[in-house]
Structures are given as structure tokens and as C-alpha cells.
Amino acid sequence: MSPPPGPAPKQRRTAPDSLGIWLVAAAFAVTMMGTTLPTPLYVLYQEEFGFSTLMITVIFATYAVGVVVALLCCGHVSDEIGRRRTLLPGLALSMASSGIFLAASELALLFPARLLSGLSAGLFTGTATAAIVDLAGARSPGRATLVATVTQMGGLGSGPLIGSLLAEYAPAPLRLPFALDLGLLVLASVAVRFMPEPVTVTARRPRLRLARPQVPAHMRGVFLRASIAGFAGFAVLGLFTAVVPSFLRELLDLPGLTVAGVVICAIFCASAVGQVVLVPAFGPRALPVGCAGLILGMVLLTAGFATASFGLLLTGGLTAGAGQGMSFRAGLADINAAAPTDRRGDLASVYFTVLYVALALPVVGVGLAADLFGLRTAGIAFGVVVALLAAWTLFAVLRNGRTGHDRVGRG
């Protein structure tokens, strides 16, 4: 005689898919906000702990190292254990980062805080984007991609703005921003726990493995052009999020933190406009136009450093930000169009790895040059190098006669 059946396993309560999209988006925005929240505060840490501009860039680069490690080792994890079970550890890493910042009493603690923040961003970015698209289903994939893009850029832009406002106008400038971030992350974790799981779980435990960056021979030209344009654009974002607050304070004598926060937020907003508005408007010409925007932005930015002009610095940053958004999205579209269907995820991870290396290495070079030759000279040299990279890509695209996306479409 068989034993009586036990009670059925209790079903986890979840929100409907339409609400789940916004729960994931809210968590995505909060996590991205946390990655840029310390940006305007570096000058305060510099005064508190007594370190150089170079050290600011090294701290910032630690974040990019975390992102790259997570991309290379964990890019496949959410396909195996599910989106929700990947997002929750990402939020936990972000909480740990904010907790360390909240308690930081010496320079050494800033490094693990930024490393954990980078690991969180690398784990969260692709997974949250995929979850939003999955939950939207076949109904509106374009709208879901738009939601993910705006959410990511909005979160990244709001971090410096919120951090600078709290640091300048509220008590405990190096504590309150991270206490607020921790509270928002707790709410984000509750939101993610109620999201529906959009993929079939195939493994109980993630199998961590190091991805080997490989690009098929037939698309190396497309990948190289997109990557160099993306490298130049992300180097600009790295400059603004790492050392521009020091530029504003030392070169332009603008001591207020809010100015730096507003400027950095505006750059991310310009990038979002480039991705969401300008890429559809220019279509297949988006990559060369984006490169032209980067070149023009760097010319204005270099002139701003040379003449200590805030107007030129801001105009150059906004122009370069829009160019970055265009070249980034157009380059990714070209890679997706040229990639074999079963390699799109891997190649997108390789592309993002290149971009986050760009976020770190050039900025460390700027920090080293600033210590050796001064901030003004370092800023001018940076503008020239980025303009040359963008010009090379523009020349390669024009010489090719069409973007990689067009070639594949006709091939």
C-alpha cells in the first residue's frame, strides 16, 4: 500500500509579467545608481584620506575589473539558474559594496567596495536586460529594449546627481548617500523576489567558467570598427565619472559638488538620447555620425581644458555623450547582425568586455599624466587620443562604404 501523498509544494507568489517588468526595471535602476553614486564623492575622500588624482583613477578602475570578471565568468549563469536567482546575488553584492562605503575609514576599504560594485554591475546588467525582454515576450520586444536602455542610463545618471546633492546639502556627506542606497537596495530585493521567472531553470547551481573571447574570422572587421568606436566612447564616460570633478574643482575653481553631479548626469542623459532618439533617426548612418559626434565633442572638450572654459567643457561632454550613445548602440547592432545566432550572447559579452576595459585603462593613464604633467595637459592629451580613435573608425566605416549591418543585410 503506497503512502498517502504529501502536501503539494507551496507555489511562490509572483507578480504578473506586466508588473514584473517594472519590478526588474526598478531594481536595475537602483543597482546602476549605486555604481555611480561615489563619483562626486571622490574629491571628498581625497581630502579625507590624502591621496592623488592617480589614486582616484585606480579606485575607479577597480570597478571596471569587477565588471569584466563578472562578464567573463558569469555571463551565462542566468540562462542556467534563472534570472531571479542571478539578480538576487547581484543585489547582495551591491549591498555589500554600499555597506563597506558606509563604514569606510581608510583608503584601503574603497578598493573592495568598488570591486564588489563592479561584480554586481557585471552580474546584473545583462541579466536584468534579458529579464525585461523575456517578460515582455513577443508582444513588444522593441519597447522592452527601450525600457532597459532608459532604465540603465537613468540609473547611471542619477547616481552622481543624488550623491552630490546629499553630500553638499545634507549631513554626513560620506555616509548618508550609502545609507540611502542600502535602503533602496533592500526594497529592490523585495521587488525581485516577487518577479516571475521567465526562463526554464536547467541547473540548481551555476557552473562558473571563464569565457574565451573569440571573434569569427568573417566578422572581425565589423567587430574591430564597433569595438574601437565603443572604446573611444566609454573612455569618455570613464573620464567624466572618474576625474572630471577634480578638473572642475582644480582647473575651473568650482568647489560645489552639485555642479559636478549635474554635469555627469547630463553626459549620461546625452548618451541615452543618442541611443534612444538619434540611432533610429540616422539608421544605418548612426555609427559614422556617432564617431563624428565623438570627434567634435573631443575638439570642444580639448578647447575647454586649454582655455579653462566651463561652457566648452560641458558642450563637449554633451556632444561626446550623444556620440557615445550612438556609436555604442549602432556598434552593438552591427555585431548582432553579423554574429551567428548561437554566438550572439558570447560576442556581446566580448564587446562589453572591451568597453569596460576602455572605462578603466585610459582613465588610469589620465590620472598618471595628471600627476606628472598636470590636469590641463592630461585632459588635452586625452581629448586628442579619443578624437584620433573615433576618426580612425569613421575613416574605416566610410572606406568600407557601409556599416557591417548593411553588408550582412545584403550578403
d(CA 262, CA 264): 6
Range list of H helices, 170-217: 176-193
Q: How sure is the predictor about 138, in pLDDT bands with cuts at 50, 70 and 90?
A: low
Torsion 242-245-250-251 (CA) sign: positive
- Check residues 290 and 347 and name the one with the higher pLDDT: 290
Note the Cα 345 to chain centre separation in Å.
17
Q: What is the pTM of this model?
A: 0.84
Mean pLDDT of the chain: 86
Domains, the chain, in order of start with CATH, read: 17-200 (1.20.1250.20), 215-411 (1.20.1250.20)
User: Phi and psi for 75 in degrees, rounded to 5?
Assistant: -60, -25
Range list of H helices, 243-285: 244-250, 257-273, 279-282
Q: How sure is the predictor about 403, in pLDDT bands with cuts at 50, 70 and 90?
A: very low
Q: How sure is the predictor about 406, in pLDDT bands with cuts at 50, 70 and 90?
A: very low
Per-residue confidence (pLDDT) for residue 96, from 0 to 100: 98
- The per-residue pLDDT for range 222-252, each reduced to its tens digit, is 888 889 998 999 889 888 887 778 888 777 7
Per-residue confidence (pLDDT) for residue 256, from 0 to 100: 73
User: Are the CB atoms for 21 and 135 separated by under 8 Å?
Assistant: yes
Best-predicted range by mean pLDDT among 251-260, 336-345, 397-406?
A: 251-260
Contacts of 372 (CB under 8 A, 6+ apart): none
Q: How sure is the predictor about 76, in pLDDT bands with cuts at 50, 70 and 90?
A: confident
C-alpha cell at 355: 568597453
Grid cell 572604446 is found at 231
Contacts of 327 (CB under 8 A, 6+ apart): 226, 229, 230, 232, 233, 286, 287, 290, 291, 293, 294, 390, 393
C-alpha cell at 206: 551555476
d(CA 351, CA 340): 15
Asked whether residue 8 carries a pLDDT value surpassing 70, the answer given is no
d(CA 95, CA 93): 5
C-alpha cell at 105: 575609514
Per-residue confidence (pLDDT) for residue 348, from 0 to 100: 74
Asked whether residue 126 carries a pLDDT value surpassing 50, the answer given is yes
- The per-residue pLDDT for range 183-200, each reduced to its tens digit, is 999 999 999 999 998 888
- The per-residue pLDDT for range 364-379, each reduced to its tens digit, is 888 888 888 888 898 8
**Which CA distances in Å does 186 have to 22, 49, 241?**
16, 30, 25
Task: Tell me which DSSP letter residue 195 carries.
Answer: S
Q: How sure is the predictor about 408, in pLDDT bands with cuts at 50, 70 and 90?
A: very low
Per-residue confidence (pLDDT) for residue 272, from 0 to 100: 92
H-run or E-run covering 360: helix 344-373
d(CA 311, CA 295): 17
Note the Cα 219 to chain centre separation in Å.
25
Per-residue confidence (pLDDT) for residue 93, from 0 to 100: 97
Asked which of 99-108, 238-247, 301-310 is least confident by mean pLDDT, the reply is: 238-247
d(CA 199, CA 197): 6
Asked whether residue 404 carries a pLDDT value surpassing 50, the answer given is no
d(CA 219, CA 151): 30
Asked whether residue 409 carries a pLDDT value surpassing 80, the answer given is no
- The per-residue pLDDT for range 376-400, each reduced to its tens digit, is 898 899 889 999 989 998 898 888 7
**In the chain, % of residues over pLDDT 90:** 43
Per-residue confidence (pLDDT) for residue 252, from 0 to 100: 79
